[in-house]
Amino acid sequence: MKRVTLPAYAKLNLTLDILRKREDGYHDMQMIMQSVELHDDVTVAMTESGEVVCHCGDIPGDESNLAVKAARAFFDATGIVPGGLVIDIEKRIPAQAGMAGGSSDAAATLRALRKLLRPDMLGEELEHIGARVGSDVPYCLRGGTALAEGRGERLTSLRPAPPFHVLLCKPEFDIPTPALFARVRVSELWGRPDTAGMLAAIHRGDADGVAARIKNVFESVLPPEFAGVFDIKARMRQLGAEAVAMTGSGPTVFGLFRDYALVRDAYIILAEEHERTYLTQFV
């Protein structure tokens, strides 16, 4: 049986800005994305069952799963007729966390299928397939540090951001992304990131400049019932984080540290207060 196992890395939004609402109902975004070491493991195995099967812990493995959608999109785009496929996902990235866990699993599925069936396929072609699955999938295929524009599918790779240790904490609630977008009035947004300044700081390798420009405009539209995001941000500041922000549409909060001993102690303390707390780093 042919099989391959690949990591599916979580992502952070070092910056997230919403520029305008488009005629198609979507929003034009401008985001600087960063991969972190926290990852799922995705195993793709070819079978003779004639079916695409996905095992993903407590997450449904049906046609709503982005990894299954990615497999279908790959076969549609290439014209390959599979004998059968099993996708096994060992989850570590929390679901509905703003860290692109599902998109990263889809990206790993696409990379695995390319390795198994189409090793000659260019990365640009694979990203084009990924864009059919979800807006974050092209970035998750590329990874690293990148500027994402449009719905997130237009990518510009950047030099690697200065290294940071990362403390992650997902509160005890989820934030529905469509509901958050519904609250967006572009002209009324505040707390916009300095994207140009962040790009320049990354180009210089300026860790202080990066930390000073971490910002997510979605925080300006969070309803009161999600104020726990700000409580966690304040707690991370108390514990020594140089920068804190919500990632994506939340609710996960991340804090950046350069001192490993400090972030390790902060992790121990915060993990006693919130179950879904993680210690990771930029990759």
The catalytic residue positions are 11, 136
Note the Cα 251 to chain centre separation in Å. Answer: 12
Q: What angle do the packed helices 66-78 and 101-117 form, to 10 degrees?
A: 30
Nearest CA to 270 out of 248, 240, 242, 243 is that of 240
* Count of helix runs (H) and strand runs (E) in the chain: 9, 11
DSSP string of 216-273, one letter each residue: EGGGGG--GGGTHHHHHHHHHHHTT-SEEEE-TTSS-EEEEES-HHHHHHHHHHHHHH
Write the single-letter amino acid at 273: E
Q: How many residues does the chain have?
A: 283
Please count the CA atoms within 13 angstroms of the CA of 227 that sit on its side-chain side: 2
- Pairing of β 253-257 and β 243-246: antiparallel
Q: Assess contact for 85 and 74: CB atoms under 8 A.
A: no
Maximum Cα–Cα distance across the chain:
55
Contact between 9 and 140 (Cβ < 8 Å): yes
Taking the C-alpha atoms of residue 254 and residue 11, their distance in angstroms, rounded to an integer, is 11
Phi, psi of 42 (to 5 degrees): -115, 120
